[in-house]
């Protein structure tokens, strides 16, 4: 009886749970892309004012007297793309699990070794393209400039999150006594 229920669940055409998660996380991902666009659309004065407000808040909270906001700006760049990476990974991973018939596992052509590897590569691609477009957009905003250095700073946040995802995924499988399904 239990085997029959598992077989029926495995044959299910669409997983409503993953459909809901995919929709939710794609909405959150796109909303975060809009937030990033909005922050990049601020002119130099608005951007500096926001940095100083946050720097003053940090100074008050930690009883410091930091005046230079360079590190804060670098951390903000890296963090906003780290969050984008996390959101887009969960969105893509959930999308891949909506249906057994349309998942990457059922694709006749396997360019990646596993589902998780495919999710990581496409998330990397999505996040890096957004970082490049973000910097390009800043070239057209008064007082702002788009730099390769900022894309590299964004890339730090992206790569750190993807490494954490890979490590957590591996540890999760080990705690469950499973191994990753690898396509040959």
Residues of 9-23 as b/e, b for ≥16 C-beta within 10 angstroms?
eeeeeebeebeebbe
pLDDT higher at 55 or 10:
55
pLDDT at 113 over 90: no
Residues 6+ apart with CB under 8 A from 144: 40, 42, 43, 44, 47, 138
Is the alpha carbon torsion for 14, 18, 21, 26 positive or negative?
Answer: negative
184 located within any domain: no
115 located within any domain: yes
How do residues 60-86 score in pLDDT, each as one tens digit?
Answer: 999 988 888 889 999 999 999 999 999
Q: Output phi, psi for 162, to 5 deg.
A: -65, -35
Query: Token digits for 179?
Result: 């191994």
Q: How many separate domains does the chain show?
A: 1
Average pLDDT over residues 84-93: 97
105 located within any domain: no
pLDDT at 11: 56
pLDDT at 1: 47
- C-alpha distances out from residue 151 to 39, 74, 106, 136, 155, Å: 15, 11, 35, 10, 6
9 located within any domain: no
How do residues 148-178 score in pLDDT, each as one tens digit?
Answer: 999 999 999 999 999 999 999 999 999 999 9
pLDDT at 25: 98
134 located within any domain: yes
pLDDT at 18 over 60: yes
89 located within any domain: yes
How do residues 4-17 score in pLDDT, each as one tens digit?
Answer: 444 455 555 889 99
Is the alpha carbon torsion for 110, 114, 119, 121 positive or negative?
Answer: negative
pLDDT higher at 32 or 182:
32
Is the alpha carbon torsion for 123, 124, 130, 131 positive or negative?
Answer: positive
User: Containing domain of residue 31, as a range?
Assistant: 15-100+110-175
**Cα–Cα distance measured from residue 41 to residue 74, given in angstroms and rounded to the nearest whole number:** 17
């Amino acid at each position: 009886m239990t085997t029959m229920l598992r077989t029926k669940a495995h044959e299910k055409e669409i997983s409503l749970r993953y459909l809901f998660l995919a929709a939710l996380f794609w909405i959150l991902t796109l909303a975060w892309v809009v937030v990033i666009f909005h922050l990049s659309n601020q002119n130099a004065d608005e951007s500096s004012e926001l940095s100083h407000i946050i720097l003053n808040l940090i100074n008050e909270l930690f009883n410091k007297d930091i005046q230079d906001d360079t590190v804060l700006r670098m951390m903000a760049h890296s963090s906003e793309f780290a969050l984008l990476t996390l959101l887009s990974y969960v969105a893509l991973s959930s999308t891949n699990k909506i249906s057994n018939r349309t998942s990457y596992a059922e694709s006749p052509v396997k360019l990646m070794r596993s589902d998780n590897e495919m999710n990581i590569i496409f998330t990397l691609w999505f996040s890096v393209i957004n970082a490049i477009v973000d910097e390009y957009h800043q070239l057209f905003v008064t007082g702002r400039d788009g730099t390769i250095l900022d894309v590299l700073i964004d890339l730090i946040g992206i790569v750190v999150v993807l490494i954490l995802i890979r490590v957590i995924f591996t540890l999760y499988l080990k705690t469950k006594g499973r191994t990753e399904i690898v396509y040959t």
